[in-house]
Amino acid sequence: MRLILFGAPGVGKGTQAKLIASNLNIPHISTGDILRQAVKDKTDLGKKAQEIMNRGDLVPDDIMIGIIQQRLHKPDCSKGFILDGFPRTVKQATALDKLLSEMNIKDVNVINITADDNELVKRIGNRRACKNCGQIFVLKDIEGKSHCPNCNAEKSFYLRDDDKEEVVRNRLNVFRKNTEPVLDYYNKQNSVISIDGLGSINEVNKRVSEKLKLKN
């Protein structure tokens, strides 16, 4: 199965993408994770992306399209994939369409997870990432813990620079201006499945699984 997971920052795309990927045994391709890894490794890409990400702005389309082109050609994508954080502009969406048609791939589902802005700002303020493995946690789940439950790194929890409130506001503005038009683009193709993102991780995951079952 090929999926594009769409939604505003903080809506839970990454968490849901990981669950769906492990349930369906397909790779989870998060462009945010790819960029954060590049920043950590201090590669040329990382050096270019860091400041842009810290401001909450978008990395240029050509760079992102190149990353996805390379990634989708890897053998593990042959059975399917889930895209998280791409496409984020209409230019990326049209480039993806072109790439998929060159690869002879037709069946792509777009899942749009929804929540209102106040909920998003609240959720992002209440999350922490692990510096070592990048896993995101809800603050109350790691309170009093000194080691990451995922990779066991010690004292590794931090508030991502781009999760600070003023940056979150910019990310939401960028989402409305540049990324929401991507949804209209896919709505015109009738390929969008909408999911209410309110509720627990398991509740949202159940909604996603039910909708995907109905599709197949």
Strand stretches in the chain, DSSP E: 2-7, 28-30, 81-84, 108-114, 127-130, 136-138, 157-158, 192-196
Residue of 88, 123, 128, 207 marked active site: 88
Task: Please name the amino acid found at residue 48.
Answer: K
CA 186 vs. chain centroid, Å, equals 17
How distant is the alpha carbon of residue 146 from its chain centre?
A: 27
Minimum CB distance to ligand AMP smaller for 52 or for 153: 52
Give the phi and the psi of residue 9 in degrees, each rounded to 5: -60, 135
Q: Which of 2, 18, 128, 171 is catalytic?
A: 171
Whether residue 87 has a cis bond before it, omega within 30° of 0: yes
Q: How far is the CB of 216 from ligand AMP (least distance, A)?
A: 27
Binding mask 76-105 for ligand AMP (x = CB under 6 A): ---------xx-x---x-------------
Task: Please identify, using beta-carbon distances, which residue of 146 and 158 lies nearer to ligand AMP.
Answer: 158
Least distance CB 197 / ligand AMP (angstroms): 15
Give whichever of 126 and 147 is closer to ligand AMP, judged by the CB atom. 126
Nearest to 85 by CA among 155, 1, 18: 18
For residue 19, give the nearest of 204, 183, 163 by alpha carbon: 204
Q: Is 149 helix (H, G, I), strand (E, B) or coil?
A: coil
Interacting positions 103-162 with ligand AMP (CB under 6 A):
162
Residue 13 annotated to the active site: yes
If we measure between CA atoms, which residue out of 12, 10, 4, 39 comes closest to residue 122? 10
Residue closest to ligand AMP when measured from CB atoms: 32
**Residue nearer to ligand AMP on the CB measure, 100 or 147:** 100
Q: Is 160 among the residues known to form the active site?
A: yes
Binding mask 160-179 for ligand AMP (x = CB under 6 A): --x--------x--------
Residue list 19-78, contact with ligand AMP (CB under 6 A): 31-32, 35, 52-53, 56-59, 64
How far is residue 115's CA from residue 10's CA, in Å, rounded to a whole number? 9
Contact positions vs ligand AMP (CB under 6 A): 9, 31-32, 35, 52-53, 56-59, 64, 85-86, 88, 92, 162, 171
Residues with a catalytic annotation lie at: 13, 88, 127, 160, 171
